[in-house]
Structure 1
C-alpha cells in the first residue's frame, strides 16, 4: 500500500490541492499505481492517495479532461506525465513533492489526443472513483453500505445556489420538508418525520457544514449553497458516527477550501420575475487570497437574496406580503505548516427576514388570505469552527471544535372570532458547543477503522408572549393564565429551557473475512445529562407543579447504539449490502396547556438491504435500489395542545416500510437521464394517551408530513459549441404525493399531491456564463403545507408553490 494524502474534492472551482504533504523523498520513489481511465480530477485524487503527492489544479475545467488507465510501478512524476500526455495540460513542480496542473499555452491538435480514450466506447470505461466523505473514512462509493446521494458543484447554477435547501429538495427524492418559510422548515429523510409544527424537540435529520453540526433543537438554517463544492445525503439512521438527531439520516455540506497557491474568485448576479408576484434578485461574490504561497490562504463568500412575495392579504389590503430577504457569508482561513498538518478556521453568518407568513386560504382565493395582523419572522445564524488535521501514511487525525448561535423568532395570528387582533410570538435561541476528535485509518479499498470521542453542549431557550391590539379594558383570554393587556402591550406566556450535555465514545471497523465480502461493525456509547426549567411561568402554575416537572427533567441517560453491515462486490460492477443502524434523540421539557411536562427520548432502528450498479452520470447505465424497515419507539413529536399552542410529547410507537430506487442512463455522451422514486408506508401503531386525548380513536394512524409516494424525472444535456463555448440544458419534474400535516384529527389536513417542474439553460464562454431558468413551468397551485396559524386549525389553509418564475443570470470567474 502506497502512502496517501487527503485531497479535497476536485470540483473546487479554481483549485484542488493536497490537504497534507509527504516527505520529500517520496516524489521520486517508484510505487505500485493503479488508476482506471476516466476524468483527470478523479485520477489526480487517486494518484495523490497512492503516492502521497500533493497535486493541485488551477482550473476547474481541467478536471473533466479524459485520462488513460495507468497500471504498474512508477513514480508520481512519471504517472502524471502519462496522464497529461496530449491533454493540453502540464504539471508544474511545487516543492519537493507537489505538482500543480495548469493548462498548456498552446493546445495540441486533435490528433494528439490519446487514441484509446477517443476510440473506447463509454460503456467500456470503468467508473472513476467517487469518495463518500460523510462516512468519515473516505469510503469509495462501491464499498459504502447504504444509500447516498452525492451532488457536486458542477450541478449547481448560481440561481440554484441562491435557493439553498430548496435546491436539494428538488434533486433528492428521499428528502422532504415542511414549508413554513425559508429558515423555519423542518427537514426529513425517508419517512422519519415527527410533525410540521416547530417546537423544542430535536431535529430528526442531522445537518453539517464539513465536520461541524449546524442545528440541534431548531429548524433547518437554510444556508445558501454558494461556493459549496459538494453535498452528500446519507439515508437512514447514522447514530454510530453522528450521534443524536440523525434518525432519518444526515445532510453534509462541504464548502470549497481556500486555494493556497492562486488568487481568484467569482461573481454572480440574477434577476427574477414571479407571475402574480413581486420581482426578486440575487448577488454573490467569492474571493480567494493566498496570503503566504502554499502556506496560508483566505477564502471569503458573501451574498444577498430577495425572494419576491406573491401572497395577497385581502383583509389588510396588502399585495405580495410574503417577501423574504437573506444576506450572509462565509470566511475560511487555511494554514498548511507542512509535515501533513492542515489547520482550518471557518466562520458563517446568515440573516433571514420574512415580512409575513407564506400561507393562503382556498376559500378566500388563489394566493390570497384574510389575516388580522402581519406575521413576520426572522432567523439569525452564526457559526465558528476550528478544524485540525494531521496525516501519516494511511493514518489520519481530525479534530473539529466549534460554536453555533441560532435564533429563530416567529409570530402567529392569534385573533379569535369576533375578537380584537392578537399576535402570538415565540423566540427560540439555541447555543451549541461541540468538539469531536477522531483517529482514522481509511484505506483505498474501503477497509480500515475509526475511533473517536465527542462532547456536545446545547441550550435551547424558548420564550413566548401574547399581544392584543384591542382597546377594551377587559378582554376575553385566549390562553388561560395569560392576561390580555390590549393596545399592543405584550404579556409573557410560559416558555421552557432545555439543556443537554452529551459525552460520547464511538468506533467503527471494516474487515474482509473472505475476498469480496466486507463486514463493518460499530457502536456509539453516549451519556446525556439533561435538565430543564420553565421560563416566565404564568401565575396559574403552582410552585410544586413546576418543581416536580423540572426535577423529572434533571436526569442522566446512557445509551449504546450498535451498527453492523455486510457488503459484497464479488460480482463485477455490482454492490449488494445489508445494514443495521440506530439513532436516538434525548428528552426534555415542553409546555402543554400552560403546564410544563417532560417528554422522553426516542429511538429508531432500521434494517435495510440494497443494491447498486455503476456510477450515476458517468456510466452508460447506473442503478440503485433499497428496501428498509424502521421500528421507531416512543416517538417525539411537535404537536398542538388543546389550546392550539405548539408543544412536544411522546405520541407512541411506529413502524415504517420504505422502498426506493434510482436509474441513471447516458444514451449519449452529452445526455444524462435520471429517474428516481420512493414509497413510504408509515404507521403509528401504538398511540399514547396524549394522542387519544385529542379525540383519536383506533390504534393505527399514518405518521405526518412525508408523502407515501414521491418521484423525480430529470435530464441533463451538455455539449461544446465551437472551440470556446459550452452549452447545457437541464430539466426536471418532481411529484410529491399526499401526506397529512400531523397526528390526530386536529392536524389531519391533507397536503401534497402536486408536480413541481423546472427548466434551465446555460452558455459558458471563457470565464463568463449566461443562464436562464424557469421554475414551476405549469404554474401549479399545489399545496406544499397545510398549516397557517396554530390558533386556527380548521380553516382551509394551504401553502402554494411559488408561481411560475423566470430568472436570468450572469456569472463571471476571475
Structure 2
C-alpha cells in the first residue's frame, strides 16, 4: 500500500490448517480384507489412518461390510472387532492402528477435541501408509518406491495464494517461470527445458483426478479452492503417465459431492500491497444432495483481483499489472448398479492487464515500455469418470475434453523506431481417454494395467507490426495422436522386500503445417511438414524394503519421453525430434508427516536427458525450438518434519541441483549469434561457446539450491475458539534464463517470507497474513519480452509486501 508504514503490529501472527472435524457421515465399505477396508474408510471419512502394527497378516484378515452413518472411530472399532489391534486418535483427523496391548496415548486437551472446523470435511490432509492414489492402485506410502509429496487441501488458499504458487511455496523440488498467470511452465526435480511456451510438450503432467489438464500448453493456473489433496510424484513417470512426465506429475484431488448432507462454505478477503494497488478475493462452495445416497452435485465459484505494483512513467501510469481471474467448476456424482459416475466441468478466465516485469537498472518496480503488454487466457474442461469395484479389483474409465486459449502481446519497438507490436495466439484442444484395471497391493501382489489415447491439436498464430494492424507472421499447427498400453506389477518375493516392474508402449502419429506461409516457402517445407510416426517403449524397475518399522529404502529406474513436432524459425517451419529422459534414483523415507513425531525423507537421482528440446531466439528476435544436445542432471532433495508437542510442528526441505548440457548439437553452437553475422566473427563466437559449455550449458530456470522452512503452532484460547499461527521462508538460489550466452541472464537469489494467523470458532474463522515481510524486490524470472532479451535488463520482482485480512465460514 502506498505510503503505509511497516507491519510491526502483525509480525507475530501466523496460521496453520485446522485438523479435520470428527463427525458422523455416510460410510459404505464392502466386505474384504482389513487393508482394503482401511483404504476405503480413509478415502470416505477423509481422515489419515496409519497402521503401526508390524504384522503383515493383519491387513489380510477378512472383515465384514460396514455401512451406515458413523464417525471414523466407530467404523474402525467395527472393522477391528476380534482383531489383536485397536484404533487411537493422537490428533483430530488422524488415526493410528496399534497393537491391542499398546499403552494409550495421552488424551488431547478437551478444548481441542471439542472444536469444530469452519471448513467442509476435507479429503485426507496427510500422506499416510495406505493412500498414494497417484500410483493408480492406492499403494501404501510405506511401500511406494519413489519420491512423493502430499499437500493437504484444508487451508491451502487462506493466505491469498490460490493457484500454482500455493504448491511452489510448499515444495522445494517444484519451480515455475513467472511470465504471468496462465502463461507459466512448471518444472520438477531440475528437469527444465526452456523459458517460453512453444510447441514442445510440458515436462510436468498436470491432472485433475484421473483427467489430464494440458499437453503442450502452459500451466492454466487453476485456482485450488475446495481441494482435498495435491499429490506430487517426482519423475520421470513414463510407465503410468506416458509422454510429458519427464519431471514428474502433479495430481489435484478435489473434494467430491457428499450424497448425504447439504453443506457449503464461503471464503473471502481483501489485501493491501506496498507500493501498489489493493486486491480482493471471494469463493463459495455448495454441496447439494439430490437423491439420498444416489445423486448429488458440488459447485465451486470464485473471483479474484490482484492489485498491480509495476509503474510505467513513460506512459504516465501506475500499478499497470493488475490481474483479474474468475471461474468455477461443478461435479455431478451418481451411483447406479455398483458404479460411481462423475460428470464434471471446469472453467477459468484470466486477464493480465500488463506484464509484471521491470527494468533492471530503473527505479524499483518501474518499467519504460511504449506499449501495454497484457495477456488473456481461458481454460475449459469437461470430464466423465466411471469406476466400480469387483471384489478386490477396481476399474476406472476416464474421458476428458480440454480447450485452452492464450493471447499475448509484446512491445517489439526498436530504439528510435516507430511503435511495433508482436501478438501471439495459442489455441489448444485436448482429448484424453483411459481405461485401467487395478488390484491394490495385498498378499504380496498388486498390479495395474491400462490403455489410453490422447489427441492434441495446437495452432500458434503470430502477427508483427503497427499496433493497430500488425501483419500476419509465420505460424504453425501441430497435431499429435498417442495410443498407449501400459502395466505395472509389484510382488513380495521375500518378507519386507517388494519388487516392482512396469512398461509402457506408445505409438505416436504427428502431423502439422505452417500458417500464413508464403506459397514458395510452403513448397520448400513440404517434406518437413509431412506426416510421420514414432514409437517408444518405457520400462521401469524398482526395489523397496522396510528393514525397520516406519523406515523405507528404495531404488528406482524410470523413463519418459516427449514426441517431436514443428517449430517456427524466421519464415520457415522446421522439425524438432523427440527427447527422452532416464532417471536412476536412491531414497529413504521414515515416518509420516503429521502422524509421526519425527519423519524425514531423502532422495538422490541422476537423470540422463537425450536430445533435449529447448527454445532459443531466432534471427528475428522471436523464440523458436530445437534439439540442443544431451544433458545430465544430479538432484538431491530432503525434507523433515518434527512435532515435539501437540500443536507445535516444524518442517523443512532442500533441493540441490547440478546440471549440464553435453554433446551440444549444431543448433546449440549456432543460435548464440542471431541475425546476419560475419562468418569469421560467428566462427570465433561458436568456438568460444563450445569451449565454455560448462558456463553456458546449465539447464535453464533451475536454481542450484532451493531451501524452505516453516513452523506452526495451534492452541485453544477458550472452549470454542482456537488460534493457529505459522511462519515460513523459502530461499531460491541462482539460475539462468536459458541455454547459451544470449539467454544466459542471471535470475533467482532471493528470499520469500510469510507469517499468518487464524482465529477459528465453531463455523467461522478470521485470518490475517503478511507475505514478503522484508519487501524484497528480487528477480524471479529474467524475461518480460523476448525482444529485449539481448540487453539482459529485465527482471520479474516479487510481489511487494502484502497484507491480507480474510474470513472463512461453513454451513
Q: Deviations over 1:189-212 (max 9, x none)?
A: 011000111211110000000011
Task: Give the match for residue 684 of structure 2.
Answer: none
Distance 2:444 2:571 in 1: 53
Q: Deviations over 1:208-236 (max 9, x none)?
A: 00011011111100010100110011102
Cα deviation for residue 44 of structure 1 reads: 7.4
Task: Give the match for residue 737 of structure 2.
Answer: 741
Task: Give the match for residue 492 of structure 1.
Answer: 472
Cα deviation for residue 16 of structure 1 reads: 7.0
Cα deviation for residue 31 of structure 1 reads: 11
Task: Give the match for residue 484 of structure 1.
Answer: none
Task: Give the match for residue 671 of structure 2.
Answer: 694
Task: Please show how residues 135-284 of structure 1 align to structure 2 within 5 Å.
Answer: 135-160=135-160, 162-284=161-283
Task: Please show how residues 313-352 of structure 1 align to structure 2 within 5 Å.
Answer: 313-339=312-338, 341-352=339-350
Task: Give the match for residue 796 of structure 1.
Answer: 793
Cα deviation for residue 48 of structure 1 reads: 13
Q: Is the Cα–Cα contact under 8 Å of residues 145 and 567 in structure 1 kept in the other structure?
A: yes
Cα deviation for residue 721 of structure 1 reads: 2.3
Residues 377 and 12 (structure 1), Cα distance of their counterparts in 2 relative to 1, 3 Å cut: farther
Task: Give the match for residue 583 of structure 2.
Answer: 606
Task: Give the match for residue 118 of structure 1.
Answer: 106
Q: Is the Cα–Cα contact under 8 Å of residues 737 and 752 in structure 1 kept in the other structure?
A: yes
Q: Is the Cα–Cα contact under 8 Å of residues 334 and 340 in structure 2 kept in the other structure?
A: yes
Task: Give the match for residue 762 of structure 2.
Answer: 766
Q: Is the Cα–Cα contact under 8 Å of residues 15 and 259 in structure 1 kept in the other structure?
A: no
Which deviates more from structure 2 when the two are superposed, residues 398-407 or residues 661-670?
A: 661-670
Q: Is the Cα–Cα contact under 8 Å of residues 710 and 729 in structure 2 kept in the other structure?
A: yes
Distance 1:526 1:30 in 2: 37
Q: Deviations over 1:6-58 (max 9, x none)?
A: xxxx969998756x763xxx59x9999999x9998547798999747466878
Say if 2:599 is the partner of 1:622.
yes
Say if 2:465 is the partner of 1:467.
yes
Cα deviation for residue 152 of structure 1 reads: 1.1
Q: Is the Cα–Cα contact under 8 Å of residues 200 and 217 in structure 1 kept in the other structure?
A: yes
SS at match of 1:549: coil
Aligned residue among 491, 515, 536 for 2:495: 515
Task: Please show how residues 10-21 of structure 1 align to structure 2 within 5 Å.
Answer: none
Q: Is the Cα–Cα contact under 8 Å of residues 640 and 647 in structure 1 kept in the other structure?
A: yes
Q: Deviations over 1:409-461 (max 9, x none)?
A: 11111001111111101111110001000000113577400010000100000
Cα deviation for residue 558 of structure 1 reads: 1.0
Residues 127 and 148 (structure 1), Cα distance of their counterparts in 2 relative to 1, 3 Å cut: closer
Cα deviation for residue 697 of structure 1 reads: 2.7
Point out which structure has higher relative CO (alpha carbons under 8 A, 6+ apart): 2
Cα deviation for residue 616 of structure 1 reads: 1.2
Say if 2:389 is the partner of 1:391.
yes
Task: Please show how residues 14-163 of structure 1 align to structure 2 within 5 Å.
Answer: 22=30, 26=31, 42=47, 51=63, 53=65, 74=82, 116-118=104-106, 129-160=129-160, 162-163=161-162
Q: Deviations over 1:606-662 (max 9, x none)?
A: 000000001112211111001100000000012221221111111110000011111
Cα deviation for residue 726 of structure 1 reads: 1.7
Cα deviation for residue 353 of structure 1 reads: 0.2
Distance 2:24 2:365 in 1: 46
Aligned residue among 448, 470, 481 for 1:501: 481
Which deviates more from structure 2 when the two are superposed, residues 632-641 or residues 715-724?
A: 715-724
Q: Is the Cα–Cα contact under 8 Å of residues 238 and 250 in structure 1 kept in the other structure?
A: yes
Q: Is the Cα–Cα contact under 8 Å of residues 771 and 802 in structure 2 kept in the other structure?
A: yes
Residues 66 and 802 (structure 1), Cα distance of their counterparts in 2 relative to 1, 3 Å cut: farther
Q: Is the Cα–Cα contact under 8 Å of residues 215 and 456 in structure 2 kept in the other structure?
A: yes
Distance 2:506 2:24 in 1: 39
Q: Is the Cα–Cα contact under 8 Å of residues 128 and 141 in structure 2 kept in the other structure?
A: no
Cα deviation for residue 669 of structure 1 reads: 1.4
Residues 536 and 54 (structure 1), Cα distance of their counterparts in 2 relative to 1, 3 Å cut: farther
Task: Give the match for residue 662 of structure 2.
Answer: 685
Q: Is the Cα–Cα contact under 8 Å of residues 140 and 445 in structure 1 kept in the other structure?
A: no
Aligned residue among 699, 702, 709 for 1:706: 702
SS at match of 1:168: helix
Residues 489 and 33 (structure 1), Cα distance of their counterparts in 2 relative to 1, 3 Å cut: closer
Cα deviation for residue 153 of structure 1 reads: 1.7
Task: Give the match for residue 107 of structure 1.
Answer: none
Aligned residue among 398, 422, 425 for 1:424: 422
Distance 2:68 2:426 in 1: 44
Distance 2:164 2:342 in 1: 25
**Structure 2: 5+ residue stretches without partners:** 1-18, 52-58, 94-101, 110-125, 673-688
Distance 2:34 2:458 in 1: 56
Q: Is the Cα–Cα contact under 8 Å of residues 638 and 655 in structure 2 kept in the other structure?
A: yes
Distance 1:769 1:281 in 2: 17
Aligned residue among 432, 435, 438 for 1:437: 435
Cα deviation for residue 546 of structure 1 reads: 2.0
Distance 2:154 2:215 in 1: 30
SS at match of 1:158: coil
SS at match of 1:548: coil
Cα deviation for residue 373 of structure 1 reads: 0.3
Q: Is the Cα–Cα contact under 8 Å of residues 709 and 736 in structure 1 kept in the other structure?
A: yes
Distance 1:182 1:298 in 2: 29
Distance 2:151 2:90 in 1: 30
Q: Is the Cα–Cα contact under 8 Å of residues 209 and 254 in structure 1 kept in the other structure?
A: yes
Task: Give the match for residue 448 of structure 2.
Answer: 450
Distance 1:420 1:31 in 2: 71
Residues 804 and 212 (structure 1), Cα distance of their counterparts in 2 relative to 1, 3 Å cut: same
Q: Is the Cα–Cα contact under 8 Å of residues 11 and 229 in structure 1 kept in the other structure?
A: no
Residues 229 and 445 (structure 1), Cα distance of their counterparts in 2 relative to 1, 3 Å cut: farther
SS at match of 1:625: strand
Distance 2:431 2:383 in 1: 10
Distance 2:538 2:91 in 1: 50
Q: Is the Cα–Cα contact under 8 Å of residues 423 and 463 in structure 2 kept in the other structure?
A: yes
Cα deviation for residue 130 of structure 1 reads: 4.7
RMSD: 3.1
Aligned residue among 358, 363, 366 for 1:365: 363
Distance 1:224 1:49 in 2: 42
TM-score by length of 2: 0.86
Q: Is the Cα–Cα contact under 8 Å of residues 762 and 769 in structure 1 kept in the other structure?
A: yes
Distance 1:448 1:774 in 2: 46
SS at match of 1:134: helix
Distance 1:120 1:519 in 2: 40
SS at match of 2:786: coil
Residues 783 and 31 (structure 1), Cα distance of their counterparts in 2 relative to 1, 3 Å cut: closer
Distance 2:408 2:36 in 1: 60
Distance 1:154 1:50 in 2: 33
Q: Is the Cα–Cα contact under 8 Å of residues 449 and 508 in structure 1 kept in the other structure?
A: yes
**Structure 1: 5+ residue stretches without partners:** 1-9, 90-113, 470-487
Residues 538 and 761 (structure 1), Cα distance of their counterparts in 2 relative to 1, 3 Å cut: farther
TM-score by length of 1: 0.86
Which deviates more from structure 2 when the two are superposed, residues 348-357 or residues 659-668?
A: 659-668
Cα deviation for residue 727 of structure 1 reads: 1.5
